[in-house]
Structure 1
Amino acid sequence: MKKLIFMSAMLLAGSNLMAQGFLNKLKQKAENIATKTVENAIEGKTKKTTAVSSETGKTNDGSPNNENNTSSKKTSLSSTTSYDFVPGSKVLLADDFSQDALGQFPLKWYTRSKGEIVTLNTAKGKWLRLYPGTFVSPVVNIGENATIEFDLIMDWPLAGGYMVPAINFAFYDRGNKSEILSYDYRLKNCLKFGIAPYRSEAAVQLTSYENVAKKLETDKYKVANFDRKVGNVIHVAISIQKERVRIWLDQEKVFDLPQAAPLNGNLNQLKLDMSSSNYTNEQLGYYVSNFLFAEGSADSRSKLLTNGKLETSGILFATNSAEVKSDSEGTIKEVAGVLSENPDLKIKIIGHTDADGKQEANLVLSKKRAESVRNVLVNDYKIKASQIETDGKGSTLPVSEDSNEAGKTKNRRVEFIKI
């Protein structure tokens, strides 16, 4: 019995010693972990330990292994464009309503609705306030090449719950007040575009008619953040070059259509249509002003790219000088646009003079003028010099009789020839 008790005591003591050793080891391990954690925290190196699979290339938590990869952010894609509207130089009609009395309908315009001249606290000058209905401009023959500009203000309650009325601008042929304002007016040629605001956007659409038949109806172009324009001046610019039509709203090009305008349409009057609305007159306000119709230039892009040649007498130089006058760069800007859009295109610029003076001097002058035009393209419009060659022919290749000023003006010209 004593022996049994002794053996039990020995086993119990051994178990206590083993347990104590095991506890000491756990304690030591815990102290080591705590010490290492403190050291890493002090050095700012506390890390999550992960294992990387050689098969998947991912860590044990499923994330990609980027230790051996150089991380880089993807560059956001962006694009660059330019406002390439060139106003016509010969004014056909200008109307800012300065000659009209406040509270009256403008004397030169026509309507079967209601409209009146007003002033605004946020915009200069006088404005024609539109009400739902039809308004017709004075008759003006815009020809096949024209530019039209005007300012528009559209104001409505942003928190309102009704549909905002659309507004249409249409250029008609055979224009006069009795025909266009009549309900049975028979449409022949027309170029119309409309702005239809909806929530924060506006849909812009163009429709054209040629010889009664519909020629083109575009998709709807969405102008984003149009609600930011509410109550502010919107500048509308339109360029018509034979069939080509371009429209800008506040320098944002909404359309560039190569074959939209009716051929030989004889468009000569602008008609505005404002649709009806559930808003009251006190809540809603549409205003127009600063109309400018001008004779435009031909489509330089089409002439240069399609025909391979563009000839103009519109680039003016100082007398007996190669200096390009600053007010005559419309054509140069158009050519710059063509070269910028087509970086592989190469052209030759050839200068010509009239027959006044000595032939040798005219030859030198014509070459210098061609070089001056190239310098404007390179320095002002950042066109590559390698795209442009120059030459001059003096007065050796006249295109008209040189006996009068009209003929001399035609002979003083610049050619752009596609190489």
Structure 2
Amino acid sequence: MKKLILISALLLAGNNLMAQGFLNKLKQKAEDMASKTVDKGLEGKAKKNTEATSTSREPIKPENASGTPTTSLASTTTYDFVPGSKILLADNFAQDALGQFPLKWYTRSKGEVVTLNTVKGNWLRLYPGTFVSPVVNIGENATIEFDLIMNWPATGGYLVPAINFAFYDRGNKGEILSYDYRLKNCLRFGIAPYRSEAAVQLTSFENVAKKLESDKYRVANFDRKAGNVIHVAISIQNERVRIWLDQEKVFDLPQAAPLNGNLNQLKIDMSSSNYTNEQLGYYVSNFKFAEGSADNRSKLLTTGRLETSGILFAINSAEVKSDNEGTIKEVATAMTENPDLKIKIIGHTDAVGKPDANLILSIKRAESVRDALVKIYKIDAGRMETEGRGSTAPVSDDNSEAGKTSNRRVEFIKL
């Protein structure tokens, strides 16, 4: 009996122990699940924090003083070179024999007319030394354009040759025939490639003395231009000089050119280099010297009045057909740079036709010029007045075509 009671007690204790163990296991499992839930929550929170940190690494828009995000600063510009309409000299070496030096040019070095496999036309290949163009009187207002190719090895480590272009006076082979020849008036700019960029600098001389030496302008990624055509455009308007390389304006200098310089010849200098001639290729072609127009922008601002016959209209119409001198663009530039500038646009006609019809036509032509300033150049119409005077204020007689052309003009008056 006692044995039976002892066995029952042991079984009961075992069951209690098993039950207790079971309960402990349930408790542990619950704690583990709770721990895992907390860990999962912490992991999720950590993940969110990580994502937030990753997001915060993205560019943050700048804020102004009030904390409001502002837009990024940007600027825009335009290619405002206007070639002259009256050609003074054009030379693409088409008349010269291949392998020979051009008949109209001069040198005390070596050069030859060649063709290239990647571009059309004849090109003058330059070698280290000096080259001089034919004489051409460019006057105080002129435009000069030409194409340039500069090719050098992608590797090598030597300095790439610089090239200089100079316009000078008293030209007639003097710079070539005599090493003692002294330039009196000269406008010179040079291109010096170095590594991936090029430094461009302009120097001018007036009555022998140095007039101006510009800061160096850095053309980025110039190495990408190696072997490709670079279009050079130059505008000289009295003292003002502007130069573009592939439509990138590198200079706009208001007082650079020598006054009354009588510039009449182009001189090209190619510097020497440790590269061999076979490793280099410097070429020029497609020269175009033209008679330019005055600096209309400055004229309007300084004198308060600008008059032009270069804005051409369709016959007996107010439709603007062309703006040969770029006057409308220059006026737009002046108004953009001077927000307070207001103008009056006055239209004139010649005396051909009935006076009443001419008056109406002159009014409409003035309005057409205003509309061009509004639509093309985004000038506020409220800053402009228009007026027509028909044929009542001629500046020349109407007995010749030249006289009629002078009378068909547009005036811009600063208000």
Q: What's the TM-score once normalised by structure 2's chain length?
A: 0.86
In structure 2, how many angstroms separate the alpha carbons of the residues matched to 1:287 and 1:413? 43
Secondary structure (helix, strand or coil) at the match of 1:46 reads helix
Secondary structure (helix, strand or coil) at the match of 2:278 reads coil
Match 1:34 to one of 16, 33, 36: 36
In structure 1, how many angstroms separate the alpha carbons of the residues matched to 2:246 and 2:44? 55
Deviations along 1:157-177, one digit per CA (max 9) or x if unpaired, are: 121110101000000001111
Tell me by how many angstroms 1:50 deviates: 11
| Alpha carbons 1:134, 1:181 under 8 Å: kept | no
1:168-247 aligned within 5 A: 168-247=164-243
Tell me by how many angstroms 1:360 deviates: 1.5
In structure 2, how many angstroms separate the alpha carbons of the residues matched to 1:80 and 1:172? 35
- Consecutive unaligned residues of structure 2, counting only runs of 5 or more, are 1-21
1:127-166 aligned within 5 A: 127-166=123-162
Change beyond 3 A, Cα 1:384–1:280: same
In structure 1, how many angstroms separate the alpha carbons of the residues matched to 2:271 and 2:47? 69
Q: How many residue pairs are counted as aligned between the two chains?
A: 384
Tell me by how many angstroms 1:24 deviates: 8.7
> What letter matches 2:335 in structure 1?
L
Match 1:48 to one of 46, 53, 78: 46
Match 1:251 to one of 247, 257, 260: 247
In structure 2, how many angstroms separate the alpha carbons of the residues matched to 1:279 and 1:204? 21
Tell me by how many angstroms 1:78 deviates: 2.0
In structure 1, how many angstroms separate the alpha carbons of the residues matched to 2:68 and 2:121? 54
Deviations along 1:16-44, one digit per CA (max 9) or x if unpaired, are: xxxx9999978654421312444x59xxx
In structure 1, how many angstroms separate the alpha carbons of the residues matched to 2:68 and 2:277? 57
Secondary structure (helix, strand or coil) at the match of 1:370 reads helix
Deviations along 1:248-306, one digit per CA (max 9) or x if unpaired, are: 00000000000000000000000000000110111011000000000001001101111
Q: What's the TM-score once normalised by structure 1's chain length?
A: 0.85
Deviations along 1:54-95, one digit per CA (max 9) or x if unpaired, are: xxxxx9xxx9xx9xx999976433211110000000000000
Match 1:104 to one of 97, 100, 106: 100
> What letter matches 1:341 in structure 2?
E
> What letter matches 1:407 in structure 2?
G
| Alpha carbons 1:164, 1:198 under 8 Å: kept | yes
Match 2:371 to one of 340, 351, 375: 375
| Alpha carbons 1:162, 1:278 under 8 Å: kept | yes
Residue 356 of structure 2 is matched in structure 1 by 360
Match 1:270 to one of 266, 269, 272: 266
Which stretch shifts more, 397-406 or 139-148? 397-406
Which stretch shifts more, 344-353 or 262-271? 344-353
Does 1:286 pair with 2:276?
no
In structure 1, how many angstroms separate the alpha carbons of the residues matched to 2:78 and 2:84? 18
Secondary structure (helix, strand or coil) at the match of 2:290 reads strand
Report % sequence identity.
78
Residue 16 of structure 1 is matched in structure 2 by none
In structure 2, how many angstroms separate the alpha carbons of the residues matched to 1:390 and 1:254? 36
Residue 339 of structure 2 is matched in structure 1 by 343
Residue 119 of structure 1 is matched in structure 2 by 115
Residue 396 of structure 2 is matched in structure 1 by 400
Tell me by how many angstroms 1:348 deviates: 1.2
Change beyond 3 A, Cα 1:180–1:188: farther
| Alpha carbons 2:310, 2:323 under 8 Å: kept | no
| Alpha carbons 2:106, 2:176 under 8 Å: kept | no
Change beyond 3 A, Cα 1:336–1:162: same
In structure 1, how many angstroms separate the alpha carbons of the residues matched to 2:266 and 2:325? 29
Once superposed, what is the RMSD of the aligned Cα atoms?
A: 2.9
| Alpha carbons 1:366, 1:392 under 8 Å: kept | yes
In structure 1, how many angstroms separate the alpha carbons of the residues matched to 2:306 and 2:91? 33
Does 1:321 pair with 2:317?
yes
Does 1:80 pair with 2:76?
yes
Secondary structure (helix, strand or coil) at the match of 1:369 reads helix
Tell me by how many angstroms 1:315 deviates: 1.1
Does 1:308 pair with 2:304?
yes
> What letter matches 1:259 in structure 2?
Q
| Alpha carbons 2:84, 2:291 under 8 Å: kept | yes
Residue 414 of structure 1 is matched in structure 2 by 410
- Consecutive unaligned residues of structure 1, counting only runs of 5 or more, are 1-19, 52-58
Residue 332 of structure 1 is matched in structure 2 by 328
In structure 1, how many angstroms separate the alpha carbons of the residues matched to 2:24 and 2:242? 88
Which stretch shifts more, 70-79 or 241-250? 70-79
Change beyond 3 A, Cα 1:299–1:180: farther
Tell me by how many angstroms 1:370 deviates: 0.5
In structure 1, how many angstroms separate the alpha carbons of the residues matched to 2:328 and 2:31? 83
